[in-house]
Structure 1
């Protein structure tokens, strides 16, 4: 009962704070709303508004900035500038989280000043009794209740917003529910530990990527202890030979394609802060808090879409998008959509394979979806969006990289595996062994 009262008071307090921030920004923006330029500048104000609203809205804004299939470019660019930079937590709060996790005396040495800090957690350098250095990710104390309260407010706002003409056809509640689920999943450090183990197992024999090993006995729902990797630098090609740049690009692509097409995993947060280089120039993947497992049907659909796109089969690409969509309008011009997607794929297929750019193709596909009212399922959009973010980073290493050529061997391996699985599923069970009479 006491926890319920605390929750109600917290929700009321967050509601008052949210209303105050929204009112202040609305009053400041009202004079310009009557002009086209004023309305356009609303996107530029969005990062300041979301930062003032709090950590849930910052995280949701960062995630929605990747959904270029749903929002105009200007809004995605503006929200992409959101920085998850907050004050470091107090040492007492970190110590309390460690104590509640049963890890108060687990470390021989612990640096209270974090090496990295965000709205959900801080990362600290520590030392085990045997001298091993580790990185300890500690969840901010009480952050779950704050994020859950803000999610409830966002859902209430989306429900109320359905009365507005421009919001009636937008699946706002569904979008916020998906974003909220993604944000809250990042609070489960046990799931992140499992994701790290899975990525290490799946990619260990196929790439040179380095993924920190979790220390399982010192990890739980609010604390994640991992291998400490010293000397991490930004994912930049400075000082590398041309040959090494090409090796890095192909290693990253092999890893991402295997995750998407074979293992059905999407690392949805492969931005420059989570893709680094160690002192030896090896690629390091950090932060597995936002790793999504694709349903097998979605994995197959996305692999089929990518292969048909590379083969110039526009009608099939359009059908895959429609079949996997989260929502289709009742008056959808299906043939018009198929014709538009086919024209787009034909244009891309007409270019040389090495000249194909997902950064040019994907925004036009997303715009077609918005124009026809086709809302893609998040599970289908995330893989394409993760590749879109990745393309921008690795083009800096090798501007001539052939995305499609690098994907084909992995796609073929994926389809071969699926054929074997399907054949095994259709194979009749072996007859029982005959009973031999004594």
Structure 2
């Protein structure tokens, strides 16, 4: 993580950023504090003031892109936060205010400095705005219609300063006696590292290629991922084919048979990433998953893609299949062996007993009955109580499944969430490239 914390962080800029962040947090802390006191005076003991999700959204938006990304991750954590917080936070995934057009123009021209301008047409008004980048429609010199993802001007400095600030805050929290067993530095490295890696547009372009190749090799003809144009990509831009006429990933007026087919296609693609390929799109929220005009699934934005080391991929798959089989003891063993940190006072037998009970109630349930968010919440609670903390490669894919589960239930509440994984899990022990090499 030295490259993340050391580069582009200077004390004067860090001090200015700390002052701005501190002022915003202080102001909203006062507002939320007053709201909590008023709720208490009215006899409300449900934490209503703290559960004003709209207020948290406004605070995170004012704090800037790093905190918007944190809010996006928290919006998936229904195991930790109530719905009236996570539902408003989910809006942070949709859009951010665009920079001024002149700044976009300068950033784009700077990205192609020293080489010929590659576009016949370039619309400076974004078709989409995220916290890290804006997306623009353009036409290449040879007439191809493309989407150009442009990194926001100055965003790298801001996010690295925020990373340094939050690292300091986590260090202070770790010094509190009651919190000392929590691995705050490890947690910060995991979450902060995942966020900062989204600044690497070269890696994102490579991830688009790899995801496309993997799904094509597995025969997923009804799943589209925009093809990048590597010769036009730079460190600050990702140029890819433009996919027009996109529709939100919602049931709409689809009949039941089509809804079920859609659910199975989504689950099969995600399970293929998780259990066979080991290259996982961990950001399939409603802003990144669509239908095209031919009702194909379209997955966008490969900024948050994680490569699972082969042992972790196998462990994650083994955990899933043992959960479906009801073998809680083996699930517990997998979690213990893959943990990135185990507290000195960890009660392993207590953890095993708790997970055995949890898995016993989950095995064989259909998605209408099996609540992955509840299961994950209880799993995370067991890990916290007994002092086991998962590796990010194990935690982030599970969080991605939580996001997908919410969308899937809107299409077909009765699909067997676990049974759909079994055909893919049967191939879990050998990734496809190894199978292909063996055949050759």
Aligned positions of 1:17-416 closer than 5 A: 17-31=20-34, 37=45, 41-44=49-52, 45-67=55-77, 71-73=80-82, 77=86, 80-81=89-90, 83=92, 85-102=95-112, 105-205=117-217, 206-207=219-220, 208-349=222-363, 351=365, 355-415=369-429
Q: Is the 8 A contact 2:367 2:413 kept in 1?
A: no
What SS does the aligned partner of 1:198 have? Answer: helix
What SS does the aligned partner of 2:138 have? Answer: strand
What SS does the aligned partner of 2:410 have? Answer: coil
Q: 1:89 to 1:97 in 2, by over 3 A?
A: same
What SS does the aligned partner of 2:239 have? Answer: strand
Moved more, 227-236 or 250-259: 250-259
Take 2:393 and 2:107, find their aligned partners in 1: how far apart are those partners?
33
| CA RMSD in angstroms, aligned pairs only | 2.6
What SS does the aligned partner of 1:27 have? Answer: helix
Take 1:288 and 1:59, find their aligned partners in 2: how far apart are those partners?
15
Q: Is the 8 A contact 1:144 1:187 kept in 2?
A: yes
Moved more, 150-159 or 396-405: 396-405
Deviations 1:300-343 (A, max 9, x none): 10000001001110100011111111222212221111111101
**How many Å apart are 1:248 and its aligned residue?**
1.6
Q: 1:73 to 1:6 in 2, by over 3 A?
A: closer
Q: What corresponds to 2:14 in structure 1?
A: 11
Take 1:145 and 1:353, find their aligned partners in 2: how far apart are those partners?
43
Q: What corresponds to 2:3 in structure 1?
A: none
What SS does the aligned partner of 1:169 have? Answer: coil
**How many Å apart are 1:398 and its aligned residue?**
1.9
Structure 1 runs (4+) deviating above 6 angstroms are 3-6
Take 1:218 and 1:88, find their aligned partners in 2: how far apart are those partners?
23
Moved more, 287-296 or 245-254: 245-254
Q: Is the 8 A contact 1:137 1:223 kept in 2?
A: yes
Deviations 1:282-303 (A, max 9, x none): 1000000000001111111000
Q: Is the 8 A contact 2:76 2:402 kept in 1?
A: no
Q: Could you tell me the TM-score, scaled by structure 2's length?
A: 0.87
Take 1:4 and 1:351, find their aligned partners in 2: how far apart are those partners?
49
Take 1:364 and 1:110, find their aligned partners in 2: how far apart are those partners?
49
Moved more, 59-68 or 305-314: 59-68
Take 2:285 and 2:8, find their aligned partners in 1: how far apart are those partners?
40
Moved more, 359-368 or 136-145: 359-368
Deviations 1:186-230 (A, max 9, x none): 111111100000011000132120110001111021101110011
Q: Is the 8 A contact 2:367 2:409 kept in 1?
A: no
Q: What corresponds to 1:428 in structure 2?
A: none
**How many Å apart are 1:369 and its aligned residue?**
1.9
Q: Is the 8 A contact 2:74 2:86 kept in 1?
A: no
Q: Is the 8 A contact 1:65 1:75 kept in 2?
A: no
What SS does the aligned partner of 2:429 have? Answer: helix
**How many Å apart are 1:247 and its aligned residue?**
2.1
Take 1:351 and 1:61, find their aligned partners in 2: how far apart are those partners?
31
Deviations 1:249-298 (A, max 9, x none): 22111111110001112211000110000011110000000000011111
What SS does the aligned partner of 1:402 have? Answer: coil
**How many Å apart are 1:147 and its aligned residue?**
0.7
What SS does the aligned partner of 2:240 have? Answer: strand
Q: Is the 8 A contact 2:135 2:147 kept in 1?
A: yes
Moved more, 301-310 or 250-259: 250-259
